[in-house]
Amino acid sequence: MKEINSNLLDKIYKKREKDARKYDHGLVIIIGGSRLYSGSPALSAFSAFRAGADMVQIIAPERAADIAAGFSPSLVTIPLRGDYLSPDHLSDLLSLTRSGEAVARGNVSVVIGGGIGREEKTKEVIRDYLTETSVPVVIDADAIYALEEEKINFAGKSFLFTPHLHEFYILTGIKVETMKKEEKEDVVRKKAKELSSTILLKGETDIISDGSEVVENKINVPYLTTGGCGDTLAGIAGALLSRGVPLFEAAQAAALINTKAGQSASKEKGDSLIATDLIEKIEKIIK
């Protein structure tokens, strides 16, 4: 089975042009958070910045947005009324995405799901948003649960799913925990093809497929079970997509950066590792 090309990051992170302008290297829009969860969108946002995005915006219910705004002056947060996202916010989400696409000259991506919750109305607005948006989207965490019972038409979309094993079951209805590696890889490939999307299945070995090819990331960092390390992966992937990196390559590079940064951080922190430790190592991985 093919492994991720170690030269992939050199291909992506080339020396910047002298005449580079803001947004040439991407705008990442993070849609997530709820009354209970404000940290998840911020972790994705910091990871996106460290992975090279020029700008990141967080769109979240007002309490989550206000808390995230206090984490750093680098974060731009757009608060939406209420404790959770609901269908009432759909027009705002689409309008803000279109505005971002215009100001960033098309160099935009969306990361959706972190901390967003599983309220029925929230699931509804996620499905409607994904149906109507046309930009590349990383679909993570709770956003996957929005697709558990009601599927949407993914044809023509640029979607990257980043499930762990149980979220893969939620997305596909297939339990892969006890499968042999070859069988698991075949299932991921078939489901990616069926969904017309790219899937990055997180695990001891990450399995990545665009429905045609399958690639493995064998860098095993058991400390990445710490809360927030999936949010960092999603933010990194969002940064890469906003720079115009194709879905399949972006998924591979994001897995590589996240695990290598986690590997570096875990050598210092061990069981004390938290997601922000990983974020601070990203810069060394992409240089």
How high is the pLDDT of residue 168? 98
Query: Cα–Cα distance between 61 and 52 in angstroms, integer?
Result: 26
Interval 9-34: pLDDT, tens: 999 999 999 999 999 999 999 999 99
Q: What is the pLDDT of residue 37?
A: 93
User: Which uninterrupted H or E stretch holds 208?
Assistant: strand 206-209
Q: Give the tokens for residue 102.
A: 């215009």
What is residue 166's predicted lDDT score, i.e. its pLDDT? 97
Q: Which SS3 state, helix, strand or coil, does residue 277 take?
A: helix
Q: What per-residue confidence (pLDDT) applies to 152? A: 82
Of the candidates 114, 168, 170, the one whose C-alpha atom is nearest the C-alpha of residue 142 is 114
d(CA 27, CA 48): 9
- The DSSP code for 87 is G
SS (H, E, C) 120-188: HHHHHHHHHHHHHCCCCEEECCHHHHCCCCCCCCCCCCCEEECCCHHHHHHHHCCCCCCCCHHHHHHHH
Task: Show the low-confidence residues of the chain (pLDDT under 70).
Answer: none
CATH topology of domain 23-255: UDP-N-acetylmuramoyl-L-alanine:D-glutamate ligase (3.40.1190)
Which residue type, as a one-letter code, is found at position 274? I
Query: Where in the chain are the domains?
Result: 23-255
Q: Is the dihedral of CA 9, 11, 16, 21 positive or negative?
A: negative
At residue 153, the pLDDT reads 85
